[in-house]
Amino acid sequence: MKKRIKLLCIAVVYSMTFGVTSCSDFLDRDPQSLVSEKDAFKNFVNFQGFTEELYHTIPDFSNGYWTNSWNWGEDEIQSTAQNFHFGVKIDNGDFWGWQRNFDGWQAGWMDRNNNSTNDDRFAKSLWGLGWYGIRKANLGLENIDKLTDATQEEKDLIKGQLLFFRGWYHFMFMQYFGGLPYIDKVLPGDQKLTLPRLKYSECADKAAADFREAANLLPTNWDNTTAGKRTLGKNVLRINKIMALGYLGKNLLWAGSPLMNSVSGGGTSYNAEYCKKAADAFAELLNLCESGEAPYRLMPFAQYSSNFYTTGQNWQIPGGTEAIFRGPYYGANNSNWGTSKQYSPLIISEGDVKFVPTANYVDNYGMANGLPIKDITKADPESGYNPEYPWKGRDPRFYNDIIFDGVRMVAGSIPNANEINNRYANLNTGGSYRDIATGSRTGYLLFKFVPRTANKYDQGYGYDKSLNIHLPYMRLADIYLMYAEAAAQGYGSAMGKAGSYAKTSVDAVNVIRDRVGAGHVDAKFLGSLDTYMEELRRERAVELSFEGHRFNDLRRWLMISKNPYTLKKSIEFDRAATLDPAKDPRENRVLNIRESVILERKFTEKHNWLPLKVNDVNLYLEFSQNPGW
């Protein structure tokens, strides 16, 4: 079954450069037909059709291949059965691996040989479609004066979407490669390129201007506009004010972060002015959401998984009220078929490529009272952590996201011969789930993005279960945590706040903890900014775990090449008694708990950025390579 979100294609959708269409289900003409610029841009229906293709340039990083790698920090490690994914190459210091000529499998979502805006999820990548999207946005903006048969609302909707996409693709490039030329016009194909690389701050300022103008033009909810009523209830993916404000704030916070500040000519600390501007943007967004004017709110913790997957809901797109920005999805069952199996060990599933959380990253999941675990091997009377009962009393998100030893994994029937080894997660040292090639290398499994039934016995990934996995690029919880970071760094303390918003930095963190039922940030962390930032970063690590943020966070914090963030570890332990199926696994006692280093990543300063393509930097002198590459 092929399933995708259908956007507003109430007229002909055309690419003025490629002549391809993204919304064939609604076309009233031949998808490959071409029209004149006069017809393409003359009214809202036609111009929106032109704009719609931009939505189908957004790569689905979580479903772009049969198995998918998008967590490149110290948070995750892959099984050893294969080595083609970019995450493995990063572990080896090979950052060239994002490029298609270093990826014979074409498995990465950042660069592929073939790119299109059709329904092929394997034909979408950031580098190829990003530059195409920027050109298309510029083409639309340069023809906005041709939109004469339209209301002011309709003109604002078109322009706002185009500005957002131009800013978004530039931001996506900048966070991986640093400052680049900011392309704000259609470049002629017959002239020599001379545009220089800008400083990161210069590029960020231009993106901020696009996001700010987009936010000014766009509504908080398309359903409340006259134009949006034509597709009432089907506007959830359309670019709106909240998306523009979210990326305005994120772009400014990134510009103010230590890495970006340093390459822009500042020091290796935060740039307080950028952080204040970011806090203001996030505050504007949060006020709209909390007042009810914008249709976004945190999902109840009982529905937390709906942020990432739905099952038994006729392929409904995940995200609920919390997902802010995400792209369309394509062939939901095909997408699920590979991704849902990359987390279950081969002993209960299929496929050999597995992605598992590192033990050192799981250590970020502290105790339910809100306190961190200082050392997983030592008792801590203050937090209540006991190394003989390491799964007891943990943050509720630990039990939602992480599979630990003794957890029941299969609900249905299992052949008798496989009962002992397969039904329960035997993740103790030497256990049946511990297999470096096709199982867990670390003593944990990740089930944040798949239901427990995603195994070959319960068949939770079967077609009849309509399992749809689709991760958002941005959700509301991220906004609260970015606001917390920006407000703290902009105003110098945990009590820092934007003038237009009632909540302080620590208040915003506690909103996230209240949702899950974890304790507030302890007062002992509020005395100094440095101490508070450690706890804020830990909260970000837990709430946004494995959603693709960690690699960029470590880089912008100038931590990716520093110990302990270069380490990937496993947890080793023995069971104190034979597993008792009738017992809550959180109550199981363990012995000899310790952590073992699986690998250490040998990173240097050059690994703060990805290398640009050699062919691209050879185009002209002003487009230089990143340092060290």
Please, which residues have CB within 8 angstroms of residue 265's CB and are 6 or more apart in sequence? 199, 201
Q: Calculate mean pLDDT across residues 196-221.
A: 98
Domain match, 204 and 345 both? no
Tell me if 629 is assigned to some domain.
no
What is the reported pLDDT for 615?
A: 95
Domain match, 233 and 337 both? no
Tell me if 317 is assigned to some domain.
no
Tell me if 376 is assigned to some domain.
yes
Q: How confident is the model at residue 17 (pLDDT cuts 50, 70, 90)?
A: very low
Measured in Å, how far apart are the chain's first and last C-alpha atoms?
Answer: 44
What is the reported pLDDT for 82?
A: 96
The amino acid present at 196, given as its one-letter code, is: P
Record the tokens describing residue 58, joined without a space. Answer: 């957004």
Q: Is 334 exposed, middle or buried (0-12, 13-18, 19+ CB in 10 A)?
A: middle
Q: How far apart, in Å, are the Cα atoms of 324 and each of 242, 345, 398?
A: 7, 32, 24
Q: How far apart are CA 358 and CA 74, in angstroms?
A: 7
For 90-124, write each residue's pLDDT tens digit: 999 999 999 999 999 999 999 999 999 999 999 99
Q: Give the domain-ending residue among 252, 282, 306.
A: 252
Domain match, 371 and 238 both? no
Q: Which residues sit opposite 595 in a β-bridge? A: 571
b/e burial code for range 344-372 (CB count within 10 A of at least 16 → b)? bbbbbbebbbbbbbbbbbbbbbbbbebbb
DSSP 8-state assignment for residue 95: G
Domain match, 124 and 240 both? yes
For 38-56, write each residue's pLDDT tens digit: 788 999 999 999 999 999 9
- On average, the pLDDT of the chain sits at 93
What is the reported pLDDT for 33?
A: 45
Domain match, 211 and 350 both? no
Q: How confident is the model at residue 37 (pLDDT cuts 50, 70, 90)?
A: confident
Q: How far apart are CA 406 and CA 403, in angstroms?
A: 9
Q: Calculate mean pLDDT across residues 482-500.
A: 98
Question: Domain total for the chain?
Answer: 2
Check: CB of residue 361 under 8 Å from CB of residue 370.
no
Q: Among residues of the chain, what percentage have pLDDT more than 70?
A: 94
Q: How confident is the model at residue 133 (pLDDT cuts 50, 70, 90)?
A: very high
Q: How far apart are CA 555 and CA 540, in angstroms?
A: 15
Q: How far apart are CA 490 and CA 137, in angstroms?
A: 33
Tell me if 506 is assigned to some domain.
no
Q: Is the peptide bond before 31 cis (omega within 30 degrees of 0)?
A: no
Q: Which residues sit opposite 600 in a β-bridge? A: 567
Please, which residues have CB within 8 angstroms of residue 527's CB and are 6 or more apart in sequence? none
Record the tokens describing residue 265, joined without a space. Answer: 């000519």
Tell me if 131 is assigned to some domain.
yes
Q: Is the pLDDT of residue 303 over 70?
A: yes
Domain match, 454 and 588 both? yes
Q: Calculate mean pLDDT across residues 160-179.
A: 98
Tell me if 501 is assigned to some domain.
no
Tell me if 279 is assigned to some domain.
no
List the CATH number of the domain containing 89.
1.25.40.390
Question: Which among 490, 521, 483 is positioned nearest to 505, based on CA atoms?
Answer: 483
Q: How far apart are CA 343 and CA 445, in angstroms?
A: 7
Q: Give the domain-ending residue among 252, 278, 298.
A: 252
Q: How confident is the model at residue 29 (pLDDT cuts 50, 70, 90)?
A: very low
What is the reported pLDDT for 23?
A: 36
DSSP 8-state assignment for residue 624: P
Q: Give the domain-ending residue among 189, 221, 252.
A: 252
Lowest mean pLDDT among 6-10, 84-88, 173-177: 6-10
Domain match, 246 and 342 both? no
Q: State how far Cα 151 lies from the chain centre.
A: 36
Beta carbons within 10 angstroms of residue 190's beta carbon: 4
SS (H, E, C) 485-536: HHHHHHHCCCCCCCCCCCCCHHHHHHHHHHHHCCCCCCHHHCCCHHHHHHHH
For 417-474, write each residue's pLDDT tens digit: 889 899 999 999 999 999 999 999 999 999 999 999 999 999 999 999 999 999 999 9
Question: What would the DSSP string read from start to end of 33-86?
Answer: ----HHHHHSBHHHHHHHHHGGGGGS--TTSSSSS-----SSSEEE-TT---SH
Q: Is the pLDDT of residue 32 over 80?
A: no
Lowest mean pLDDT among 28-42, 46-60, 170-184: 28-42
What is the reported pLDDT for 40?
A: 87
Domain match, 60 and 175 both? yes
Domain match, 243 and 337 both? no
Q: How far apart are CA 526 and CA 432, in angstroms?
A: 44
Domain match, 204 and 91 both? yes
Domain match, 460 and 576 both? yes
Check: CB of residue 189 under 8 Å from CB of residue 210.
no
Helix 476-491 vs helix 241-256: crossing angle, to nearest 10: 40
Q: Is the pLDDT of residue 24 over 70?
A: no
Q: How far apart are CA 258 and CA 590, in angstroms?
A: 41
Tell me if 403 is assigned to some domain.
yes
- Report angle CA 153, 159, 161 to the nearest 5 degrees: 100
Q: How confident is the model at residue 10 (pLDDT cuts 50, 70, 90)?
A: very low
Helix 505-516 vs helix 529-543: crossing angle, to nearest 10: 30
Q: How far apart are CA 34 and CA 17, in angstroms?
A: 10
What is the reported pLDDT for 35?
A: 61
What is the torsional sign of CA 145, 146, 151, 153?
negative
Domain match, 109 and 237 both? yes
- Expressed as residue numbers, the domain containing 438 is 333-465+567-600
